[in-house]
Amino acid sequence: MDIKPFTAEPIRVLAPDGSTVENADKLGLSKDDFLTMYRWLVFVRGVDDRGYILVRQGRAGFYAQVAGQEAAQVGSALPLLKDDWMYPDHRSQGSMLVKGLTATEWFGHVLGRMADPTQGRLMPHGPGRRDLHIVPPASTVGNKITEAVGTAMAQRIKKRKEVTICYMGDGATSEGDFHVGMNFAAVYQAPALLFVQNNQYAISMRTDQQMRTKTIAEKARAYGMDGYLVDGNDIIAVYAVTKHCADSARSGNGPSLIEAFTYRYGPHSSADDDTRYRPKGELEMWRTQRDPVTRMRKFLESRGLWSDEQEQKLQAEVKAQLAAAMEEAEKSPVPEPLSVFDYTYESLTPHLQWERKQLAAELGV
């Protein structure tokens, strides 16, 4: 398959009904690769459903679902190598799971338990894992883009082969950080993949209210890098485009911008009411006609690779796996209150020493 930048229409392998519009066999993917993709899609949706339930049950305070965007997340994380760097944003848990964060760690994070690799310290949706090169996202939209490009530049200077992927939403591309990051990445030919999940909304603001170009991908041209528009609900296409850009960056050909055109099913977060700004019928159309999980399943079925029995077995496996992960996360203790002072400064500033003393007195420890 010839992967070209700046296409007018999104790059696509699978049509919404699961039939192929490109020769999927030319990508060098095996039957097992396709099955792995599908299993991840089902797993990520399962994690997300359960994560959101925690908020509905009053056991967690905040959740931002990835439902609808699973193909963009899984498809872009699968081609990465173990030591590649990942800068997720606040809606990237699917990609983090593929990179190696466990479901127990994710639920532990949502519940603020010690099972969270960052021990309940960071903002919701902000875990990371040093050994997996997952850098925790920050709450400020777009502010990790320059850091990610810096990490990519560092790999180049050190003559290392790791690439850096930076996830952002369409809203983040309206921030100054995006433009600074794009320029630096191109000028220094950083091995960076700037991956935009264009779910068409920044909370309630539609993309046509925040930019004048038709696509985000075309902005790459102005910085001197390639920009790829891909159907973000087609996992095979997302995989192929991301792999293409990762290979290119790894071979010293610099950065790429990828726009995965997709849609989120849930509200922006558990604190949002999306019925106030979505046009009637839009959500239903995406959910029933464009779903990334159903699309991949239909593709597998059309090749005789998947049956109802296999589906039932997989759903049961994922259910059991996630129930065990949730149990483990819930068993994990909450962090010691005084530990809030640990790990940020090597030695506490006088003010923090005073605050620590106050809290210790309050707690009677």
Ligand X SMILES: Cc1ncc(C[n+]2csc(CCOP(=O)(O)OP(=O)(O)O)c2C)c(N)n1
**Which positions are catalytic?**
264, 268, 277
Binding part of the chain for ligand X, among 145-153, 201-209, 270-278, 301-309 by CB under 6 A, reads 201-209
> Is residue 228 within a helix (H) or strand (E), and if so which, with residue range?
strand 226-231
As a whole number of angstroms, the distance between CA 235 and CA 12 comes to: 9
Q: How far is the CB of 170 from ligand X (least distance, A)?
A: 4
> Rounded to whole angstroms, how far apart are CA atoms 96 and 87?
9
SS3 137: coil
Q: Which of residues 73 and 332 has its CB atom nearest to ligand X in the complex? A: 73
What's the DSSP call for residue 224?
Answer: T
Q: How far is the CB of 247 from ligand X (least distance, A)?
A: 27
Distance of alpha carbon 81 from alpha carbon 84, whole angstroms: 5
List the strands of the sheet with 192-198, edge to edge: 85-87, 164-169, 192-198, 256-261, 226-231
The least distance separating ligand X from the CB of residue 171, rounded to whole angstroms, comes to 3
Q: Segment 116-155, which members bind ligand X (CB under 6 A)?
A: 139-141
How much is the CA Rg of the chain, to the nearest whole Å? 21
C-beta closer to ligand X: residue 171 or 254: 171
The residue count for binding ligand X (CB under 6 A) is: 14
What binding mask, one character per residue, do residues 260-299 give for ligand X by CB under 6 A, x or -?
--------x-------------------------------
Question: How many Cβ atoms are within 10 Å of 6's Cβ, its own excluded?
Answer: 13
Residues numbered 338-357 forming contacts with ligand X, rule: CB under 6 A: none
Nearer to ligand X, 139 or 289 (CB): 139
Q: What's the closest the beta carbon of residue 111 comes to ligand X, in angstroms? A: 22
Which residue's CB comes closest to ligand X? 169
* 170 near ligand X, judged by CB under 6 A: yes
Question: Which residues are bridge partners to 259 per DSSP?
Answer: 196, 229
DSSP letter for 216, please.
Answer: S
Kindly list the residues in this chain that would bind ligand X in the complex (CB under 6 A). 91, 139-141, 168-172, 199, 201-203, 268
